[in-house]
Chains A and B, each alone.
Chain A
């Protein structure tokens, strides 16, 4: 069983330029990203799906700084590039969920 807990994920991703050893989602939670995007970036009625495979860091950071819609803008003053890197690393470490046809409870039709 591929159960994971947010607090035990230790994935590191080189393509996040500011990636830190800490990529357990702590920063993601502390800045309330989970409130709209879900604990594992799965999305909700209040925010889009971010993970797995988030946008490349540059595009990712650009949207967080200058969102295009109703998302609050997080300026560097409140969320540094370094911390945003940690968030990105966390989201990059979220594994792909099971395929739709591998989940019996979602075989509805």
Chain B
């Protein structure tokens, strides 16, 4: 893309400025008159505009674009006031080479150089600025965007006050195995910090607050270092196990002129080949799977693409093994008779073999600890159950935050990316399958269909209880929404654990983009900004996004509503307005009952925010979004949703506030 841009002004002043630029970015090395790169390499990588800038004899067209007024300026004025070819222009070249389409930002002076380059060098095209009103929102927006688009955007913030604001959202992305590219500005040279603000906004080690939950971070001291570190950061973030990375950008490196620096060719976009599981382990797994009497597949953050989805269906059908989709991603169509997620523990308890695919909590899938005063472990499965795991996420972890779960040693642990390994595993299963095994396995199908149909009937029947209640039941709201979106191209962009899981039980989900999992670490303030990012990615594909939004989460990050209105994304937000952290009421009530005390209703104090009730429609309207509510009559929901869908149909966001039951 850099090539498509008009050549930047190539100046005579470059000669003058280059000495100071190089001393500012001292690690950049000697001043060098760049050789034409084509001469160095027969197949040159894309060049930065800086490299393309010859240092002598500007052409006529270049001269035409010259900054004419400067001709009248004395050199010392030019030197004092103007900077040509700032380092951050080159940074933008690098970001373009990495195909970074957006920069989600909360504006901050420590990266003003980069910000300006994006606006006036890249013309706010690639990357394009996404204005966010909080760093946490910028990160969560990036998180949601990636899970739909499958490619990362970058976010930028202050290295000090910004990183600290961003931290919770970074931890969510880390736990959810989502790549983020975090850019944090800083003022490294103490001798050049001009004000108390720059001192307050500087740190020795800016990335330290998030280092426990990023895969890698760096603080480049030259533009060459920046280019290499950006490409490396991209590679590290995007190689499964994926995760956030951070680059700290010195303000001076962005702002000083890079004219005359001998910068390397722009890096090429890393090609990622995720690791495939060991062939011996794959064969051993295939053998166990084929010979198991009642294998069950548990998939969590396993599937990324439609091709991967098709492969998992193929494997499940080959083995006639039901799948429990644990919901980290959309792993298996809920319209398929082998999706037994709705059967809960019953689907697992009878298994003689459990196959976990990128399963976050293996121990917790075969054991459990009930919330009773004595935290005793119980097995969910029989003693002789065999466990196979396939995944790469557990192969990279850090010490401090305990998101890795309890230790468990499977019978066959396969370290490899699920989608990359599935073709070999399917082949190994075919090889291991004798004709007689095939017919034994085929006989399971009827039973699985029956169990699926029974579970579906139970779900439908359960949905009718509370159908006419006010506050409105979660089942009712979800089915009213489904009625309005089922003929659209849609994507659900929120978790639905507090919504009785109704969409995952009753909406027809058969595409990976229909559902993108949850926050990862349960840190609030993820929902609405992640929904905005996901909606942006859906919009690029002509889809509408549906966000079933918890009120508690919304109150952490309401500014994201403004970003949605500003970007004008077709995002339907339906409020789960239950005016409390109900989960927490439940916890306090449990403890009070255990201690046999507590006055009636005391568990609500500190957990309920109904007095005064928050007016979410007014809030959304104040951010410039169409909104309606609060609605507490279940028979008003459909009409209000129809109006909201009219707005969505115009490509705009809408919010409906529904007074809803706890879960």
Q: Which residues of A contact B (CB under 8 A)?
A: 1-6, 27, 29-32, 34-36, 38-46, 49, 51, 69-70, 72-75, 77-78, 83, 97-100, 103, 105-106, 108-109
Q: Contact at A106–B460, with CB atoms within 8 Å?
A: yes
On chain A, the residues within 8 Å of B501 by CB distance are: 45
Given contacts A6-B469, A30-B601, A106-B464, contact A35 B585 (CB under 8 A): yes
Q: Contact at A46–B586, with CB atoms within 8 Å?
A: yes
Q: Indicate whether B468 reaches chain A with its CB closer than 8 angstroms.
A: yes
Q: How many residues of B contact A (CB 8 A)?
A: 49
Q: Contact at A105–B479, with CB atoms within 8 Å?
A: yes
What is the CB-to-nearest-CB distance from A23 to chain B, in angstroms, rounded to a whole number? 15
Complex Cα distance, B174 from A61, in Å, reads 46
A-B contact pairs, 26 of them (CB 8 A): A3-B633, A3-B634, A27-B600, A30-B601, A30-B604, A32-B585, A34-B661, A35-B585, A35-B586, A39-B662, A40-B469, A45-B497, A45-B500, A45-B501, A46-B663, A49-B465, A51-B465, A73-B593, A75-B596, A77-B597, A78-B593, A78-B598, A100-B461, A103-B467, A108-B460, A108-B506
Complex Cα distance, B582 from A31, in Å, reads 13
Q: Indicate whether B482 reaches chain A with its CB closer than 8 angstroms.
A: yes
Partner of B582, one of A35, A69, A72, A97: A35
Q: Contact at A2–B468, with CB atoms within 8 Å?
A: yes
Complex Cα distance, B590 from A105, in Å, reads 35
Partner of A42, one of B370, B469, B582, B590: B469
Q: Contact at B593–A44, with CB atoms within 8 Å?
A: no
Complex Cα distance, B468 from A23, in Å, reads 19
Complex Cα distance, B370 from A33, in Å, reads 18
What is the CB-to-nearest-CB distance from B482 to chain A, in angstroms, rounded to a whole number? 7
Q: Contact at B372–A70, with CB atoms within 8 Å?
A: yes
Q: Contact at A34–B596, with CB atoms within 8 Å?
A: no
Q: Contact at A34–B598, with CB atoms within 8 Å?
A: no
Complex Cα distance, B468 from A2, in Å, reads 7
Q: Contact at B593–A40, with CB atoms within 8 Å?
A: no
Given contacts A32-B589, A36-B586, A106-B460, contact A98 B466 (CB under 8 A): no
On chain A, the residues within 8 Å of B508 by CB distance are: 108
On chain B, the residues within 8 Å of A2 by CB distance are: 468
On chain B, the residues within 8 Å of A98 by CB distance are: 464, 467-468
What is the CB-to-nearest-CB distance from A70 to chain B, in angstroms, rounded to a whole number? 5
Partner of A105, one of B372, B466, B483, B662: B483
Complex Cα distance, B590 from A36, in Å, reads 11
Q: Contact at B479–A31, with CB atoms within 8 Å?
A: no
Point out which of B469, B594, B601 has the most chain A C-beta atoms below 10 A from its C-beta: B469
Q: Contact at B593–A74, with CB atoms within 8 Å?
A: yes
Q: Indicate whether B418 reaches chain A with its CB closer than 8 angstroms.
A: no
- Residue of A with least CB distance to B465: A42
Q: Contact at A38–B506, with CB atoms within 8 Å?
A: no
Q: Indicate whether B272 reaches chain A with its CB closer than 8 angstroms.
A: no
Complex Cα distance, B469 from A98, in Å, reads 11
Query: CB-defined interface of B469-511 with A at 8 Å, one 1/0 digit per residue?
Result: 1110101100110110000000000000100110000101000
Point out which of B473, B497, B634 has the most chain A C-beta atoms below 10 A from its C-beta: B473
Complex Cα distance, B585 from A40, in Å, reads 17
What is the CB-to-nearest-CB distance from A30 to chain B, in angstroms, rounded to a whole number? 4
Q: Indicate whether B200 reaches chain A with its CB closer than 8 angstroms.
A: no
